[in-house]
Structure 1
Amino acid sequence: MWSHRAFKAITPLKIVLLIGQTIAGQNCLWVWVRDHRQHHRHSDTHGDPHNASNGFFFSHIGWLMSKKHPEVIAKGKLIDMSDLEADPWVMFQKDHYKKLYFLFAFLVPVLVPIVCWDETVFNSVMVAFFARAIITINGTWMVNSWAHKFGTRPFTRDILPTDTHLVALIALGEGWHNYHHTFPWDYRAAEAGSPLNLTRRLIEGMAAWGWVYDLKAATPGMVKARVLAKGDGSHPLWGHSTFEEFQQHENR
């Protein structure tokens, strides 16, 4: 919603999503969106914060353990963030991120087991904070690493992002990454009918309740044309066709 403007949401849901993003512990939303927009604009080049061309380890976690490439700093200053800067809720989270993170990502998750079922402080901290953070963050990082190396490229063959069932399972639908880089503004982040896409189902459920609206999605015709023109031949329906055959069929 914030990175690609794929849909809009009512204010109460925005607040809930901001709290969830805070719990995820991946920096404030403003920084996350800037990095993600930069990743798409300069994907797998020196201007990409987690450039997969530098190897699996770098794109997974190494980019957070090293100084930013000068191109990352230079290109990051050019990313338009005016839409987020006009959102008071986003900027409130940005200004108070550390306090909000301590409250929602550490204090509340740790206190609930202690208060509700007499868990020890040590166990609660180790499981409800450290284990949860390590598991969820590494699952998210697989989108930057595994899904830029292993898998198929049915929609755009000359980029690193791939479609992979494994990451789609772990990241609740975010593993159809070749599609996402081809149509980044599509709210589904995957082709219609792709399995393991619980995030898409959640968004559609919220749309049915009127909580989100103005959903954007690529049409089947757009998807087919792209597969035939730029795909690697792995698409289950049109992968073995050619763009010339598609054009001939359309002209008949």
Structure 2
Amino acid sequence: MDAVPDREGCEVVDRTGPDGAESRELNGAKRPRIVWRNVILMCLLHTGALYSLLLIPKAHLLTWIWSYICFMMTALGITAGAHRLWSHRSYKAKLPLRIFLAAANSMAFQNDIFEWSRDHRSHHKYSETDADPHNAQRGFFFSHVGWLFVHKHKDVIEKGKRLDLSDLLADPVVMFQRKYYKISVLVMCFLLPTLVPWYFWGESMWNSYFLAAILRYTVVLNLTWLVNSAAHMYGNRPYNKNINPRENRFVTFGAIGEGFHNFHHTFPFDYAASEFGLRFNTTTFFIDLMCWLGLASNRKRATPEMIMARKLRTGDGSA
């Protein structure tokens, strides 16, 4: 794991894990170099998830309820945490909520908050270019999972260093999670989901591991990836017909509110990531609930006037 200083003197760590390949590309390379470790790990993970389906009849009902709870917590660690809070700063969260979302983000095991947010800001700033980590112009497979199977394009690394990440570097929760990321992933993504069913209602360790850990993790990964792939290729564009991101109902339902993607790329600051508030948007409901409990505040919204003006100016007329 090599650490290199960025142009502003901040340390940037290039690491390659099961959810992100960050080694540098060779200048002038005609083809991206494959990260075989990631390919093998993802094949094993998805094989394990398919095997998990055979365990459904053998599992305790409470194990499935627990797996769904872990699924929701995992998803919120990405959608309400790394995405809407830390990547876009679309609302503010108090310390207890930030700690919860950081723990949930470790359960998601999709790189730490700092790396996830950095890559996502690159995705928005340089969308559908070589500096976009999962550039949809390179096809469905690449934008879905293939981008994890090859070394990052040099533009992703070079232009990513130009982003202002000072807010992330100044957040002690983000830096603490980054420092202890590996152990937090081990505990939150694998140990906790496995041990709770085994300890509290006598589920077998085998069933607990494959259902609450492996299957749950694989499902969340693919739903997250669909935002990068399907939601950039299939659907309508009522807000901006000049960009690739689309409104995709299937992704919206599966990814708990992240499929209103044409809206989100048009108004990335909006905490709801949608014009429609709570409709099919569990993440927005969660943030609203946290505000009601006094744990979140300062929700940013695009006004109805802004939305209508944008529809008339650049929309495809589908809404």
TM-score, normalised by the number of residues in structure 2: 0.72
Please report how far the alpha carbon of residue 195 of structure 1 lies from its aligned counterpart in structure 2 after TM superposition.
2.4
Is 1:211 matched with 2:295?
Answer: yes
- Counterpart residue number, 1:60: 144
Unaligned runs of 5+ in 1: 236-252
Contact 2:278 2:284 in 1 (8 A): no
Confirm or deny that 1:3 pairs with 2:87: yes
Aligned with residue 199 of structure 1, among 252, 275, 283: 283
| Alpha-carbon shift at residue 114 of structure 1 (Å) | 1.3
Give the CA RMSD over aligned residues. 1.0
Shift of 1:120: 1.9
Q: Aligned to 1:117, which of 192, 197, 201?
A: 201
1:222-248 deviation digits (Å, cap 9, x = unpaired): 00000000001111xxxxxxxxxxxxx
How do 1:87-98 and structure 2 match up within 5 A?
Answer: 87-98=171-182
Amino acid at match of 1:32: W
Post-superposition shift, 1:65?
0.5
Question: What is the CA distance between 1:121 and its match in structure 2?
Answer: 2.1
Shift of 1:192: 3.0
2: distance between equivalents of 1:162 and 1:14?
30
Distance 1:194 1:225 in 2: 22
Cα distance in 2 for residues equivalent to 1:87 and 1:78: 19
**What is the rounded CA distance, in whole Å, between the counterparts of 1:102 and 1:194 in structure 2?**
33
Distance 1:219 1:154 in 2: 16
Aligned length: 235
Is 141-150 or 118-127 further displaced after alignment? 118-127
Give the Cα separation in 1 of the matches to 2:208 and 2:281: 31
Which one-letter code corresponds to 1:198 in the other structure?
T
- For 1:204 and 1:57, how far apart are their aligned partners in 2? 35
Tell me which amino acid in the other structure corresponds to 1:134: T
2:164 matched residue in structure 1: 80
Contact conserved, 2:240 with 2:311, CA < 8 A, in 1?
Answer: yes
Letter in 2 for 1:91: M
CA drift at 1:210: 1.4
* Mapped partners of 2:187, 2:228: distance in 1: 28
Equivalence for 1:243: none
The alignment partner of 2:163 has SS state of coil
1:24 aligns to 2:108 (yes or no):
yes
The answer (yes or no) to whether the contact 2:278–2:285 under 8 Å persists in 1 is no
Aligned partner letter, 2:260: W
Greater shift in the superposed pair: 187-196 or 92-101: 187-196
| 1:174 Cα deviation from its structure 2 partner | 0.5
Percent of aligned pairs sharing the same letter: 49
Instruction: Indicate yes or no: 2:220 matched with 1:136.
Output: yes
> Counterpart amino acid of 2:200?
C
Q: Are residue 152 (structure 1) and residue 244 (structure 2) matched?
A: no
Contact 2:236–2:246 at 8 Å: present in 1 too? yes
Of 165, 182, 187, 1:103 maps to: 187
Task: Give the unaligned 5+ runs of structure 2.
Answer: 1-84
Task: Give the drift of 1:67.
Answer: 1.1
CA distance in 2, matches of 1:118, 1:198: 31
Query: Deviation digits for residues 2-51 of structure 1, max 9, x if unmatched?
Result: 11111101111110011111111111000000010000000111100000
- The aligned amino acid for 1:129 is A
Structure 2 letter corresponding to 1:144: N
Structure 1 residue ranges (4+ consecutive) displaced by more than 6 angstroms after TM superposition: none
Q: How is 1:35-54 mapped onto 2 (pairs within 5 angstroms)?
A: 35-54=119-138
Identify the match of residue 268 of structure 2 among 155, 180, 184.
Answer: 184
3-state SS of the aligned residue for 1:46? coil
Farther-moved stretch of structure 1 (35-44 vs 112-121): 112-121
Offset of 1:193 from its aligned partner?
A: 4.6
Q: Could you tell me whether the CA contact under 8 Å between 2:256 and 2:282 is conserved in 1?
A: yes
SS at match of 1:189: coil
TM-score, length-normalised on structure 1? 0.91
